[in-house]
Chain A
């Protein structure tokens, strides 16, 4: 379904985002793309939707040679891919229903199809009752569910999610993950870039880890970090925000821990043990609601 072969991406100015990456993802797989900020996760996703072209190497997506595709065929490639982003990208002047319907209308689906499909998908994401609300009247989790609904409305073969839970608290994130899981069970291939340890560890799906543009790990039923690895890993990005909030109350700490993910571990960098235990905490909290 997705194949990257010796893909290297160098941005203008010489920034190497991906270096000789080869990944093969089968139809119906659920894959987590993990790694610190700047490791190339987003670049990889941008290559898949042909927002970027690789500097060298080949990209195949949904049976199409994406890296060789002429520009005018790109829209057709994108119709077989649904995309979810951290910042939702909802249209503020459209209701939930209209936001989802928009994705069908602009590719020319007939009104009758829109009218039957949109309510079904809204039901799938649990927002049937809020179809007439505007994005500003929704919580972050609800907004993200709208954006998932929009990504799935055209029944794509592949669903790409770039940090879909990055702006959400752990409990809400679990809700989003349940929906993504359900979508995956319909046979849709799901690729999710994330920093969220708790989610990766709880789901136990395939994990592809990138570091400085290289694939450093690719394992089935993986966790965010392997036990052998953490002590040696250098502190890449220091989440000062997370550090200060961690000094506050206990519940805030929990929330930040799971929500802003990888950063939460950084203060504990020197001692390897606290990090995994901290991850265990939120994942328990998540399963309860």
Chain B
């Protein structure tokens, strides 16, 4: 216990002696882990959204007000027989109005328009394709049908998201790997400087028979602290950044959901912190392994 206190106290002394270099190392850890955690969160958002749609992709066909209930029935029956379609739901003007009120709750101006003239909200049929990839076929067929005013699909959004994710992923992981190596090197450098500043003390410690662990622990602790501080900053940055993103998206129609479960954040946040500590330990161990003042 006493030794743990000693090691931590000495580690902080080292850090304060080389504050600027330590700051550089901490920033490197921060940037690399922000990227890592950011990619993880982005990947999770894409996964959540694509799985929702994959189970339940909807093509929405807005219907003209001129159609009679019988015509709508006929249309629904026809669409249901298409091989690409698993199921079809009808959403009436009244139901659509309720839904719109909900979706636009955080957008008072748009809500006002709808409340003043409820007629602008059209009835629609919503289609669940048998295979999510077939949405384009469904869209094309719907466009040729009289009484269908407009067709929207969530498909292109999914394609875009998956495309962006796959493209960025490779780039980001590459950048993360490079930055992690840089972070380890920078931490190793701070430890190197700390050992150099203490070379006289280390020499005397070795002469009087201090154990190698006693001599090395403060430097390992220093590396771990630097890694941990960088990781804490990164996790904070990503969590806060994500919260801001959720707030911005709150006003938009919810065909994309950017929120991520707290469980995911906790679990991966903890792993990122652990990774920061490990990065620090690797950096300091490397430095101690090569330092001539520490050779036995």
Chain A interface residues toward B at CB < 8 A: 49, 71-72, 74-83, 89, 91, 102-103, 105-108, 150, 154
The answer on a CB contact under 8 Å between A103 and B214 is: no
Q: Bound state CA distance, A72 and B204, in angstroms?
A: 17
CB distance from B136 to the nearest CB of A (A): 69
Please tell me which stretch of B64-72, B76-84, B123-131, B205-213 contacts chain A, meaning at least 4 of its Cβ atoms lie within 8 angstroms of it: B205-213
Q: Bound state CA distance, A150 and B208, in angstroms?
A: 9
CB distance from B20 to the nearest CB of A (A): 21
Cβ-neighbour of B209 out of A91, A105, A107 (below 8 A) = A107
Known: A71-B296, A108-B3. A103 touches B208 (CB 8 A): yes
CB distance from B162 to the nearest CB of A (A): 55
The answer on a CB contact under 8 Å between B214 and A108 is: yes
Known: A75-B209, A75-B211, A75-B212. A103 touches B204 (CB 8 A): yes
Q: A89-B203, A89-B204 are in contact. List 9 more A-B contacts (CB 8 A).
A: A80-B209, A82-B208, A102-B204, A106-B204, A107-B209, A107-B210, A108-B2, A108-B3, A150-B208
- Set of chain B residues within 8 Å of A82, measured between Cβ atoms: 208
The answer on a CB contact under 8 Å between B206 and A78 is: yes
The answer on a CB contact under 8 Å between B200 and A89 is: yes
- Set of chain B residues within 8 Å of A80, measured between Cβ atoms: 209
9 A-B residue pairs with CB within 8 Å: A75-B209, A77-B209, A79-B209, A89-B203, A106-B204, A106-B210, A106-B215, A107-B210, A108-B2
Residue of chain B at shortest CB distance from A89 = B204
Report if B95 contacts A (CB, 8 A). Answer: no
Known: A71-B296, A89-B200. A78 touches B212 (CB 8 A): no
Report if B201 contacts A (CB, 8 A). Answer: yes
CB distance from A195 to the nearest CB of B (A): 22
User: Which 10 pairs of residues, A with B, have the shortest CB-CB distance?
Assistant: A78-B209, A79-B209, A106-B210, A71-B296, A103-B208, A75-B209, A106-B205, A75-B211, A83-B207, A107-B210
Q: Bound state CA distance, A108 and B204, in angstroms?
A: 14
Interface hits, B173-230 → A, CB 8 Å: 200-201, 203-212, 214-215
Residue of chain A at shortest CB distance from B198 = A91
Considering residues B200, B203, B210, B215, which has the most beta carbons from chain A within 10 angstroms of its beta carbon? B210
Considering residues B200, B209, B296, which has the most beta carbons from chain A within 10 angstroms of its beta carbon? B209
- Set of chain A residues within 8 Å of B296, measured between Cβ atoms: 71, 74
The answer on a CB contact under 8 Å between B210 and A91 is: no
Known: A89-B203, A91-B201. A106 touches B208 (CB 8 A): yes
Q: Bound state CA distance, A75 and B204, in angstroms?
A: 12
The answer on a CB contact under 8 Å between A91 and B200 is: yes
- Set of chain A residues within 8 Å of B206, measured between Cβ atoms: 75, 78
The answer on a CB contact under 8 Å between B207 and A78 is: yes
- Set of chain B residues within 8 Å of A75, measured between Cβ atoms: 206, 209-212
Q: Bound state CA distance, A74 and B214, in angstroms?
A: 13
- Set of chain B residues within 8 Å of A81, measured between Cβ atoms: 209
CB distance from A80 to the nearest CB of B (A): 8
Residue of chain B at shortest CB distance from A102 = B204
CB distance from A161 to the nearest CB of B (A): 13
Q: Bound state CA distance, A49 and B6, in angstroms?
A: 26
Q: Bound state CA distance, A77 and B211, in angstroms?
A: 11
- Set of chain A residues within 8 Å of B207, measured between Cβ atoms: 49, 78, 83, 89
Q: Bound state CA distance, A265 and B215, in angstroms?
A: 44
Q: Bound state CA distance, A91 and B210, in angstroms?
A: 16
- Set of chain A residues within 8 Å of B211, measured between Cβ atoms: 75, 107
The answer on a CB contact under 8 Å between B200 and A106 is: no
Residue of chain B at shortest CB distance from A49 = B207
- Set of chain B residues within 8 Å of A105, measured between Cβ atoms: 6
CB distance from A121 to the nearest CB of B (A): 13
- Set of chain A residues within 8 Å of B205, measured between Cβ atoms: 106
